[in-house]
Structure 1
Amino acid sequence: MSRQKRNNHSPELKAKVALEAVRGLKTANEIGQESGVHPVQVSQWKKALLEDSSTLFDKKRGPKPKAEYQTDEKLYSEIGRLKMELDWLRKSPESTCRVAS
């Protein structure tokens, strides 16, 4: 007995099928047959779309603001690393590149 591989559907297909189901122009069986998805899955995607649609417009658009402490911390660590390299270059007698003080 061979097992069937589980299908992984793209988010685009899920959204398309769920929107078609919400429109109500076709039955779940018709939509499922056209898209190659089981009618129960069509109903589940429709339910998920209707439940999550209220949060769709809650958030502001645009890039998410970065936490200031993370960017500061990253910059300070970069400054520290560069200072260490500069000190090493100043003290290194083999260095062909001389750094002005």
Structure 2
Amino acid sequence: NVFIERLWRSIKYEEVYLRAYASVSEARAGIGRYLTFYNSRRPHSSLDGRTPDQAYFNQPMPEAVAA
């Protein structure tokens, strides 16, 4: 739950509180753009300055362990 709480805190302080949305569809579009930014361009200190996309998609997949 810590991850989700940090995510929503970032969304609120870096997007929602800075905008005056006129409608729900405008808010949805703005938050969608922010989530794209958050995952692909915003560096995260917990990921050693990498973005989530860099941390999770650019890493080699671990080898499967034979059962």
Q: TM-score, normalised by structure 2?
A: 0.32
Structure with the bigger RCO (C-alpha within 8 Å, sep 6+) is 2
- Indicate the structure (1 or 2) with the bigger Cα radius of gyration: 1
Q: TM-score, normalised by structure 1?
A: 0.23
